[in-house]
Amino acid sequence: MLIDARDLTTGHVVEADICIIGAGAVGISMGLEMNRSDLKVAILESGGFEYEPRTQSLYKGDHVGRDTYPLERNRLRYFGGTTNHWAGHCRPFDEFDFSVREWIPHSGWPIKIEELEPYLERTQPVMGLGKYDYDSVEEYGRQLGLETLPLDSSRLINVMKHQSPPTRFGPAYREELTQSKNVSVYLYSNVLELLSNESASHVTNAEVACIDGPRYKIKAKNFVLAAGGLENPRIMLLSNKSAPNGLGNSHGLVGRFYTDHILIRPALDVSLSRTDLDFRLYTRPHRINGGLIFAIMTAPEDLTRREKLTRFRFHLYELGPRYESPIGGVFSELDGAPEVAPLVTKPDTHIQVHMAMEPIPNPDAFVRLSDKRDLFGQRRLEVKWQVTDAELANAHRAVELCALEFGRMGYGRAYAPILAKPDEWPATFTSGKHHCGTTRMSDSPQTGVVDRNCKVFDVDNLYVTGSSVFPNIGHTNPTLNLVALALRLADHLKEKST
């Protein structure tokens, strides 16, 4: 059921078994998973069905570290959340991403890939992806009549990504949730704070407000924060009536370890010395096994271990005629859906290589409350994104490996600003708009905010999910992984509630 909360009266109290805050990729996936269960579920969504400037303005905040995209531009605050403009690139984390890597401080998840794998497979159809197979890039290339690059696998390897159409979760699942008997979505409902008992160990209700409308409460047995990687910690920090530092923040970790992918786009420009090269497997999505796929390059585990590097990936983009329909809306401002372009046979003279790199978890990068206020009088966010010299050196080596490979294959000469000036981030360096790490998962409240079930330590009925719980982010895009975690949490809550 969909409910316009502006029609409620001030003081109204909604009661539910589970209250989910946010109807983006996470909130909607959890709602679908709980549809037709015995649970009464209320999803509270700040926006309506369309972009509205005043609602979007609630996302404003300041950068106090490295400047990057304005906070109200790199996420969207209405039904469907940021999937209303995401680019749809998908790949699961690798087993390696969950492990402790002794050369990377604060690395390692408390869970292993095996615990996520069944949910990753279930996530594929939710995101409009084909068969769950990320291992057969050579085989798929053969079936498509397209070759993978002859890489030296001790340096770089070919791997596969899936391309979502991209699924816009709002329009895609609006009807299913409208028809639901047990899941109600409350639109125009801004959660201002969570109220708890005196010891801040149990959430009693959420305070909700509509712009120019009523204020109401929701009481639930369990609460789930699904408001995105920046807003999840903000809501916890704003919930400070019983716990002055914010709910679940007795160790000061809520908002710490803010992290995002480091992008250099482009990182290299390769002037091709041959005209017979075909990069179409990399530069556009191809339909196979009920979905769309394309190839990227990354470093093998051994190399990152040997050279003590974080993970990174390279996407290829053609210049010239084929560049008209590139994959990679992820790198554009308002990502339109990439189309499968007709094949163009004209040879290219250049290709560009874009790099996305895993950052090193850093407790000095954070999000916190500022003294500025939004239109409800709530404190806005300050975000300190940091990049370090260690990451610059990591990026330099990654780009060098890629340039060396193009040279070794005899494909042409690579120009990369970071190789010319190793002490400077190139002008094309930016962040990935993947807000992660601010409520990290751990086995101990000394080192994390949520446990392996995404439950906030010390609060018995508050859960957080989304990329804010990722302690490490590998090189891959977050959404497939965070939706899988959301489905896992939905199962956990269903089990807890029986």
Residues that bind ligand FAD (CB under 6 A): 21-27, 44-47, 74-75, 77-78, 81-83, 85-90, 189-191, 226-228, 231, 235, 330, 335, 433-434, 466-467, 477-479, 482
Q: Which is nearer to ligand FAD, 94 or 278 (CB)?
A: 94
Least distance between ligand FAD and beta carbon 217 (Å): 14
- If one counts every other C-beta atom within 10 angstroms of the C-beta of residue 37, the result is 17
Q: Which is nearer to ligand FAD, 45 or 318 (CB)?
A: 45
Task: Tell me the residue number closest to ligand FAD, measured at CB.
Answer: 24
Nearest to 92 by CA among 116, 125, 112, 126: 116
Token output for 71: 């906070």
Nearest to 47 by CA among 190, 176, 178: 190
Contact 416, 267 (CB under 8 A): yes
What distance, in Å, lies between the first and last C-alpha atoms of the chain? 23
Q: Which is nearer to ligand FAD, 148 or 467 (CB)?
A: 467
Radius of gyration of the chain (CA): 23
Alpha helices in 295-433 (DSSP H): 301-307, 389-408, 417-420
Least distance between ligand FAD and beta carbon 335 (Å): 5
Least distance between ligand FAD and beta carbon 486 (Å): 8
Contact 450, 463 (CB under 8 A): yes
Q: Which is nearer to ligand FAD, 294 or 406 (CB)?
A: 294
Least distance between ligand FAD and beta carbon 62 (Å): 17
Nearest to 69 by CA among 269, 353, 338, 261: 261
Q: Which is nearer to ligand FAD, 33 or 348 (CB)?
A: 33
Q: How far is CA 68 from CA 73, 99, 101, in A?
A: 10, 29, 28
Token output for 335: 């990502």
Contact 89, 335 (CB under 8 A): no
Least distance between ligand FAD and beta carbon 411 (Å): 27
Least distance between ligand FAD and beta carbon 448 (Å): 18
Least distance between ligand FAD and beta carbon 404 (Å): 28
Q: Which is nearer to ligand FAD, 23 or 267 (CB)?
A: 23
Q: Which is nearer to ligand FAD, 86 or 406 (CB)?
A: 86
